[in-house]
Structures are given as C-alpha cells and as structure tokens.
Structure 1
Amino acid sequence: MMNSFADSFRGVSDVKAMIVHRNADELADAVAQRIAVLAADAIAMRGVFRVVLAGGQTPRGYYRRLPDMPVDWNNVHVYFSDERCLPLGDAQRNDSMVQQALLDRIDLPFRNIHAIHAELGARLAAADYAARLAHAMPFDLVLLGMGEDGHTASLFPGNPAMQLTDVAVPVYGAPKLPAERVSLGINTLNAARNKLFAVTGAGKSEALWRIARGDQLPAAMVKMAEWHVELAALTDAQIERSA
C-alpha cells in the first residue's frame, strides 16, 4: 500500500517527484545534499544562488547539516518564505530560528541576508519586501514545509491571501498565532526554478492524502515541486483511505 500511495501522489498533476525517506534524519541528509547540488549548479551557471528559506520545525534538521556541505556561501543570497509580525529578535520569528540553526554557523556575508521586516506590520512589510525582491526573481530554490491543514509558507486554506497576486502578501486572520503575517505570494513561489517540500511527522498524513486525491490545498497549489516525505507522515490509516 505504501507504493500505491506514493504512486498516487506522484501521479497528481503538477507534482514533480515524491521521495519517501525512512526517518527524519535520512530526509534531512537528503535535502541538505540536494540544496548543495542546486547551489553549485546555480553558481556555475549564473554566479549566484538565490534560495528562499522555510520556517517551522522540519527545516532545522537540514539547516544544521548545511554547514558541512560544500557550499560557496559568498555567492549565496538567502530570502524568507514568510514571517510572523513580531518584534525584531523575537524567538518565534522564522529569521530567529534560521539565525540559530544555520546563519550563525556559516560565513555568509550579512549583505546577502534578506529578511522580511515584519515588525513594520503586514501591509507595510509586504510592500517593502516586494520592492526589495524585484531584482532577485526568479529564485533558484524555494524551500517549503506543510502544516497539518495543508498550509505552506503563511498561505492558509481559505485565507484571502491565497487570492492575491503580489510578490509578497499581507496575511491577516491566520489560524495559528500570531494572526498577522507576511508571506511570499503563490505566484512568486511558483515562479521559482526549483521548489522543494520537506514533510515530517504523522500529523501530516491527512493533508498528504487530500493532495493525492486532488484537493487544492495551498501546498498543492505550488506546482512542479519536489516532495521529500518522512515515512511516518504516511500512516497506514491514510494509505488505506487512498487505495
């Protein structure tokens, strides 16, 4: 049944690939190696690697492995998929997590870090980020996660931000606190040269099943993405439902 579910997911329109890993450590190793390969390719072709970093728990694993990868950090520029409208330096901000898990451990020039100024509030911060990204797109790689409800970045099911076409969008009324956020828009995510989801934890199985059935959750709206999924995220109950 595992192969049946994976094949069903891979068969969904506009899914580039689904790779199932035995555990979160194996997934983190594979994703870190994939990032290093894409970085080397982009730098060889264009002289720069522009990558959008994800927030959440799952990315911590591969962020912690990246300092050991052969990456030319001087030619890497990092951006953020979304940010919570909290004071600068707040521990719950995505840029705080990324700083601790990755940026403090690599020699990345400060000028190459392009944070979202979410402390300005969602509307102003989204407009500011959109203006600052004008020179950067299309991104070489967008790293993404998926919540139990199928959200990605800070694009939540049913939220009006999903309908906005701006480069970066203000998000209000998010079901998870803080309710006010900034996110890259769905069109911006789709414009990237490469999109990579990393999904861990049994709580994600319902959303994966729904995507395999064709439900248009926010994560499913990111087209031609490469999905790296931990085996635990595919529970027997959900696999049976997909059969």
Structure 2
Amino acid sequence: MEIQSFDTSDEVVNALCKLVESYSNDSVRERGLFKIGLSGGSLVDYLSKGLPGISTEWDKWVVFFCDERVVPFQDADSTYGAYKKKLMGKVPLDEKNFVPINPNLTAEDAAKEYIDKLKKHFPDCKWPEFDLLLLGMGPDGHTCSLFPDHPLLKEDNVWVAPINDSPKPPPSRVTFTLPVLNNSRGCIFAITGEQKVEVFRKICKKAANFPAGLVLPTNGKVHWLMDKKP
C-alpha cells in the first residue's frame, strides 16, 4: 500500500493523473494497450480536470467500468454518460475507446453480457488483469458497488456481478467483484474530505471491515491519495 497526502484537492487530482500517465505509458510500452477501469462519482470531475494535461497514446486506451448503474446513458446516474459528457471532447477518447454495459437489460443479463465483452479483451484466463483500476470510496467504505456486509463481498466465481438492492440509489447495478480488483496491476483510490479520510484511518487500524480495505492486489500496488493527513 502506497499512501500520499496533500494539502489540497487540486494536488490530489494532479497526483492521480500523473500516476495514470505513468501506468498508461508503461502498459503501452510493455503490452501495446492500456486497459483501465473507471469508477464514477467525484472521479469523473477529477479526471475531466486533470487528464487533458497528461502525455499518453490515447488511441491505445481501452476503457472499462468498475461498476455501472443500470440506467439509460442519458440518465444523470449513468457513469458512462457522465464521462461521455464531461471527458470526451477534452481528451482524444471517443466511443470506440469505451466498453460500456448494455443499459437496456436487467442487472443480471447486463452483468453476463459484460463478462462476455471482457472475455474478448482478456481471453483464456481465470481473472482479467487490468493495467489500472481507478476506484472511489463512499463514506460507508464501499467501493465499486460492493457495500459493507453485502453477500457480494464473498463472490469469487464471476468477474461481474449484478446487484438489485444497492443501499445507495439507484438500486440496480453491475460491479466488478473483489477477485477482479485484486488481480489488477494497480489500483488507485483518490479521496478528499475529512469524512472519507477518517474511514481510511479506520481501514489502516483494521477497526472495521470496509470493502475498500479489502482491495489488496496480489501482484499489483494499491495507491491511496488524499487531501488530509491519514
């Protein structure tokens, strides 16, 4: 675990995007593509602000979603819709770089179809190995759509799982499972505000079993960037 604290949220954004730049260039040099998973929430604004300033081979990016709400892309809750609105046009990424879910299906069918899409990019493996996953954390310690004490935390058979009882609306979503997160080459959490940093302190003290604290890549690194002293 690598922890970096900064004085301002702008510095967190800069550090986040510098790490993305480094991972992307290493991945393209070593494997020819950069396979990245994005999350929603505040990360959309962070990346829309910071990514236009990095140097990378954008045409080598393949962008997936660590979780997604099963709503139309035009809906304000759609993560893909948010990136389409806020990031596309600021950087040379367009629809062909993204691998979204099918929002017209049930959560169960959308999860199955997304697994099929992933297997075209990660053939012949037990778990996909992403170059980088960008993760958020809620004030309850959830990450992706993996919530505290939810049965999905024990899911170890599928890459993408449906959830229809999300405690945070909207209730229907699809999410990467913990084995997928922990098989990545790198994960980055970028958190701001005292409330979330306090959750991180509890994670470090093992004071509670927060889902975000279960993200510990087996052969990769997890980076925590924050705007308060941990």
2:28–2:34: 8 Å Cα contact kept in structure 1?
Answer: yes
CA apart distance, 1:109: 4.7
Moved more, 58-67 or 128-137: 58-67
1:122-181 deviation line (CA, Å, top 9, x unaligned): 101111111111123311000001000000011101112222121001012111111111
Residue number in structure 1 paired with 2:58: 73
Secondary structure of 2:56 counterpart: coil
In the alignment, which residue of structure 1 is the partner of 2:103? 118
Q: Supply the AA of the counterpart residue of 1:43.
A: V
Q: State how far apart, in whole Å, the 2-side matches of 1:110 and 1:88 are.
A: 12
1:40 partner SS: helix
| Structural mapping, 1:6-155, within 5 Å | 16-134=1-119, 135-136=121-122, 137-155=128-146
Greater displacement, 83-92 / 219-228: 83-92
Q: What pairs up with 1:220-235 in 2 under 5 angstroms?
A: 220-223=213-216, 224-231=221-228
Q: Counterparts of 1:210 and 1:168 in 2: how far apart (Å)?
A: 28
Q: Which residue of 1 aligns with 2:177?
A: 185
> Which deviates further from its counterpart, 25-34 or 203-212?
203-212
Q: Give the aligned length.
A: 218
**By percentage of residues, which structure has more helix?**
1
Q: TM-score, normalised by structure 2?
A: 0.89
Shift of 1:20: 0.5
Residues 1:216 and 2:173 are matched in the alignment: no
Distance 1:118 1:55 in 2: 16
C-alpha contact 1:82 1:116 (8 A) present in aligned 2: no
SS across alignment from 2:84? helix
| Deviation for aligned residue 1:59 | 4.0
Unaligned runs of 5+ in 2: 123-127
Which has the higher mean CA deviation after the structures are superposed, 165-174 or 207-216? 207-216
1:74–1:109 CA contact under 8 A, matched in 2: no
SS class of match (1:209): helix
Residue in structure 2 matched with residue 204 of structure 1 by the alignment: 196
The CA distance in 2 between the partners of 1:43 and 1:164, in whole Å, is 31
Gaps of 5+ in 1: 1-15
Counterpart residue number, 2:125:
none
What is the deviation of 1:119?
Answer: 3.4
C-alpha change, 1:27 and 1:34, in structure 2 (3 Å) is: same
Aligned to 1:157: 148
Mapped partners of 2:184, 2:103: distance in 1: 22
